[in-house]
Amino acid sequence: MENASVKKKRKKNKFMVFLLGIILFLMIGVIFVKSFYEDSLGPMEKSNPSDILVHIPPSTSTNEIANILYEKGLIKHPLIFKYEVKKKNVDSKLKAGEYNLSTGMDLNTIIENLTKGVKDLNTVRFTIPEGYELVQMADKLEKEGLVNKDRFLDLTSRKENFQDKYDFLNLLEENQSLEGFLFPSTYEVYIGSTEEEIIDKMLDGFQRIYDKNIKDKLEETDLTLNEVITLASIVEREGKVDSERPLISAVFHNRLKKGMMLQSCATVQYILGERKEVLTNEDTSIPSPYNTYINEGLPPGPIAAPGEASIIAALNPAEVDYLFFVLTGEDGSHTFTTTYEEHLRAKPKR
């Protein structure tokens, strides 16, 4: 027959097992709730998002907004939406209107849009030509009434202003500007878009080119991303005929390998801030790290925004031994040569 101490010990063990079971159950519950909560904050369609037009009528409650968003397939759980709105204390700041939201937006981005209010859904297009510098972009966009030039240039002066959104910017130097990394193309934005949103559009354009043409190729070249785009920007500014871009790229690649100065007029024009057709000896002697007449190698960064053809050419130079080229055609075409003597003979007589 068990004595009292054995019975007491057995009861204590059972209680401990029960207590451990409760603790384990609570821990699993906490992990499940945390996982459920974090998943609810994420976007509905991260890899293949689609835009959805949402109408929020005036005087719509937070509960009703949550149900509208849920029925439209924009949020995963109305309860979490209401919890986040309450946590952020923005119940009274959710605004009525027509919203163009995306299934790629996370919960907090959707809430942010609803608190900012509706933008004019009318859009406007703008075009950034290939070979444009940041200053030229700012001038053009300000004339079109899309940006404040000073704010645009301030935002694009440091990559850190956008680095949290675009991983490729982490590959650039500290405090490097976005010169060369706002992809030249035609874009459509909402009327009233901010400078940040317009810059984002152009960085999105570069991101697509980076993923498509650059990312994998970087592993096959000794050049950094900054060097690739710097070279591509020089090719862009020197080339007028697309078929010649790989040849121009080859000339600069060959010169780099031989330790020759690039002697690109385009880099001096960048220093001057003007497209001067004929450079003087004084121009090519300007003390600047961008002057490839007095410095070996590539300049510190891009001198313009290269188009896709120039970027591809910078990564895939033609297999030729040319070291020189000179403008000879009225269509902007060049004559390419291997020796300096050939180069002198190819120069048009003035």
- List pLDDT tens digits, range 198-211: 999 999 999 999 99
Residues 257 and 209 in one domain: no
Amino acid at position 57, single letter: P
Q: Give the three-class secondary structure for 238.
A: helix
Rounded Cα distance, 166 and 159, in Å: 10
Q: Which of 8-17, 200-209, 214-223 has the lowest mean pLDDT?
A: 8-17
What is the token pair recorded at 69?
Answer: 């968003």
Range of the structural domain that residue 334 is part of: 226-346
Average pLDDT (209-230) is 94
Whether 42 is in a domain gets the answer: no
Residues 112 and 127 in one domain: no
The residue out of 116, 145, 162 marking a domain boundary is 116
Close Cβ partners of 29 (under 8 Å, ≥ 6 residues apart): none
Whether 1 is in a domain gets the answer: no
Average pLDDT (13-17) is 69
What is the separation of C-alpha 102 from the centre of its chain, rounded to a whole number of angstroms?
19
Q: pLDDT class for 218, splitting at 50, 70, 90?
A: very high
Q: What is the pLDDT of residue 5?
A: 67
Above 90 in pLDDT, residue 11? no
Residues 88 and 131 in one domain: no
Above 80 in pLDDT, residue 122? no
Whether 30 is in a domain gets the answer: no
Residues 109 and 174 in one domain: no
Residues 203 and 234 in one domain: no
Q: pLDDT class for 51, splitting at 50, 70, 90?
A: confident
Q: What is the pLDDT of residue 273?
A: 82
**How many domains would you assign to the chain?**
3
Above 60 in pLDDT, residue 1? no
Q: At what angle do helices 107-116 and 4-41 cross, to 10 degrees?
A: 50
Residues 207 and 230 in one domain: no
Helices (H), the chain: 4-41, 62-71, 78-88, 107-116, 134-143, 149-155, 195-209, 225-238, 245-258, 265-272, 308-315, 340-346
Whether 29 is in a domain gets the answer: no
Whether 335 is in a domain gets the answer: yes
Q: Is the model's pTM score more than 0.75?
A: no
Q: What is the pLDDT of residue 59?
A: 81
Q: What is the pLDDT of residue 282?
A: 87
Q: How does the average pLDDT of the chain come out, rounded? A: 89
For 261-319, the pLDDT digits (tens) are 999 999 999 999 877 777 888 888 899 999 999 999 999 999 999 999 999 999 999 99
Above 80 in pLDDT, residue 326? yes
Q: Between residues 61 and 40, which one has the greater pLDDT?
A: 61
Residues 172 and 254 in one domain: no
Residues 127 and 92 in one domain: no
For 167-186, the pLDDT digits (tens) are 999 999 999 999 999 999 99
Above 70 in pLDDT, residue 6? no
